């Protein structure tokens, strides 16, 4: 069993990664404590904002956010925050394209909320809502790297068509951050691997591997630079065309080390809350199912404390499939040591 890569894993940790079952993504999201608790608290702690309001849940999935906003009497003893809350929307409309909505309807029914929650299967652009406008939009629309396969377009469509003047959006701010990491061993395992596969030259797949960002957990101790924000959106004002962007970054090197990859993550804010709620998907805090996104660079940068890695991040939706992303990262090590000068650029698809 010593050759078994699972050997170090407890049973439940091994199970944790199982994404085979059809509803696995919903299980993963519901079990993502950081995500679900942030949404719950943003609603439960702000009952005064939800009371008697019409709420639209864009991409409602299993309807957990719709139920939070409805605040019914659940069959199970509710958590303390539940009992303390004054909230209770007048009506919640949940919209989702997926067949999961059939299960959501059953769940809403067994929780006695069918008269308060209307669930509609279809595209946001096509469904007919039972209300001409809504007071609040709630949505968990974020994808890997914030924007990969995200439903943000759909949220913006719903905002422009249905949100009443002065209406609220939960959450309403998102920021992408970047940093440089030391990741030599794993870069060798993922990229170097293709140099010799069972005795053969697999370099055609090495190129592919370099163009595909990894979605993975990065340990804080691997982070070599300060983080830097590179993209920020306000959901009240952002337009679809703003999601194709180009942004400069400057990463301050914290210690003498090597940099094999640039990573990105995002923070989310609910600023409409009485006491603002935010969460991060960065390497410095608790695990979320979004993990971090790792972009291996061609070079290995040899960096010293106080130097900077400057560059540019460009992102645009893929022309063929707008839910996919074409990402470019250029980088340059600003150093006074001529032997360590390095710059380059990578193109990535996700």
Of residues 16-45, those binding a second copy (CB under 8 A): 16-23, 26-27, 30-31, 33, 36, 40
- DSSP H helices, the chain, are 11-16, 24-30, 33-44, 47-50, 64-70, 80-84, 100-110, 152-162, 184-190, 203-211
Does the protein bind a second copy through residue 3 (CB under 8 A)? yes
Nearby residues of 296 by Cβ (< 8 Å), 6 or more positions away: 183, 187, 190, 191, 210, 214, 260, 261, 346
Q: Is 122 in the site for a second copy (CB under 8 A)?
A: no
- Asked if 324 and 148 count as a contact pair (C-beta separation under 8 A), the reply is yes
**Closer Cβ to a second copy, 18 or 248, answer by number:** 18
CB of 278 to a second copy, least distance (A): 17
Identity of the residue, 24 or 322, whose beta carbon is nearer to a second copy in the bound complex: 24
- 192 contacts: CB under 8 Å, gap ≥ 6: none
- Residue of 196, 246, 248, 256 interacting with a second copy (CB under 8 A): 196
Annotate each residue in 66-85 with x if it binds a second copy (CB under 8 A) or - if it does not, as one string: -xx-----xxxxxx--x---
Please, what is the Cα angle at 345 between 343 and 350, to 5 degrees? 150
Among 287, 306, 341, 347, binds a second copy (CB under 8 A): 287
Q: Which residues of 75-94 are buried (b: 16+ CB within 10 A; e: fewer)?
A: eeeeeeebeebebebebbbb
**Is residue 318 classed as helix, strand or coil in its secondary structure?**
coil
Considering the candidates 33, 109, 125, 149, report the single residue annotated as catalytic. Answer: 149
Terminal Cα-to-Cα distance of the chain (whole angstroms): 35
Is 126 known to be catalytic?
no
Binding of residue 321 to a second copy (CB under 8 A):
no
Q: Segment near a second copy (CB under 8 A), from 125-133, 213-221, 240-248, 328-336?
A: 213-221
Residue 185 in the binding site for a second copy (CB under 8 A): yes
Question: Catalytic residue at 27?
Answer: no
- Strands (DSSP E) contained in the chain are 54-58, 91-96, 117-121, 134-139, 163-170, 173-181, 214-216, 228-234, 245-252, 257-270, 277-280, 292-303, 308-317, 325-334, 343-349
Least separation in angstroms between residue 12's CB and a second copy is 6
Active-site residue, selected from the candidate residues 140, 182, 269, 307: 140
Which CB atom, from 204 or from 338, has the smaller least distance to a second copy? Answer: 204
Answer yes or no: are the C-beta atoms of 224 and 303 closer than 8 Å. yes
Q: How far is CA 312 from CA 137, 250, 283, in A?
A: 33, 9, 21
Q: Is 216 in the site for a second copy (CB under 8 A)?
A: yes
Q: How many CB atoms lie within 10 A of CB 304?
A: 14
Taking the least distance from each CB to a second copy, the nearer of 167 and 213 is: 213
125, 160, 189, 242: which one binds a second copy (CB under 8 A): 189
Query: What is the footprint of a second copy within residues 132-151 (CB under 8 A)?
Result: 144
**237 lies in the site for a second copy, by CB under 8 A:** no
**Is the Cβ of residue 196 or residue 246 nearer to a second copy in the bound state?**
196
Q: Is 13 in the site for a second copy (CB under 8 A)?
A: yes
Which region among 89-97, 198-206, 250-258, 337-345 touches a second copy (by CB under 8 A)?
Answer: 198-206
Q: How far is the CB of 323 from a second copy (least distance, A)?
A: 14
> Which residue has 């982070």 as its token pair?
223
User: With contact defined as beta carbons under 8 Å apart, do 120 and 102 qualify?
Assistant: no
Please report whether residue 62 would count as binding a second copy according to CB under 8 A: yes
Min CB(248)–a second copy separation in Å? 28
Give the separation between CA 243 and CA 148, rounded to whole angstroms.
Answer: 11
Catalytic residue set? 140, 149
């Amino acid at each position: 069993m010593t050759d078994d890569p699972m050997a170090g894993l407890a049973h439940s940790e091994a199970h944790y990664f199982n994404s085979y079952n059809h509803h696995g993504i919903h299980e993963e999201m519901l079990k993502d404590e950081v995500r679900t608790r942030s949404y719950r608290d943003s609603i439960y702690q702000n009952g005064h904002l939800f009371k008697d309001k019409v709420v639209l849940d864009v991409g409602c999935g299993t309807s957990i956010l719709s139920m939070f906003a409805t605040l019914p009497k659940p069959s199970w003893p509710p958590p303390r925050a539940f009992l303390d809350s004054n909230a209770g929307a007048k009506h919640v409309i949940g919209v989702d394209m997926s067949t999961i909505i059939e299960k959501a309807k059953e769940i809403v029914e067994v929780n006695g909320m069918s008269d308060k929650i209307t669930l509609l299967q279809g595209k946001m652009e096509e469904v007919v809502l039972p209300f001409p406008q809504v007071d609040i939009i709630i949505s968990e629309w974020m994808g890997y790297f914030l924007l990969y396969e995200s439903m943000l377009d759909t949220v913006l469509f719903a905002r422009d068509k249905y949100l009443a003047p002065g209406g609220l959006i939960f959450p309403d701010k998102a920021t992408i951050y970047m940093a440089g990491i030391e990741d030599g061993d794993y870069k060798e395992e993922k990229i170097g691997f293709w140099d010799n596969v069972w005795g053969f030259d697999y370099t055609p797949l090495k190129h592919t591997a370099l163009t595909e960002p990894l979605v993975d957990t990065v340990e804080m101790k691997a982070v070599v630079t300060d983080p830097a924000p590179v993209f920020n959106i306000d959901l009240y004002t952002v337009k679809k065309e703003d999601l194709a962007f180009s942004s400069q970054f400057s990463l301050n090197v914290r210690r003498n080390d090597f940099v094999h990859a640039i990573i990105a993550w995002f923070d989310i804010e609910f600023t409409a809350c009485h006491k603002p709620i935010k969460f991060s998907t960065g390497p410095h805090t608790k695990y979320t199912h979004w993990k971090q996104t790792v972009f291996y660079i061609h070079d290995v940068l040899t960096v010293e404390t106080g130097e900077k890695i400057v560059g540019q991040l460009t992102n645009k939706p893929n022309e063929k499939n707008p839910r996919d992303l074409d990402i470019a990262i250029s980088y340059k090590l600003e150093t006074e040591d001529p032997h360590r000068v390095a710059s380059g650029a990578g193109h990535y698809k996700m």
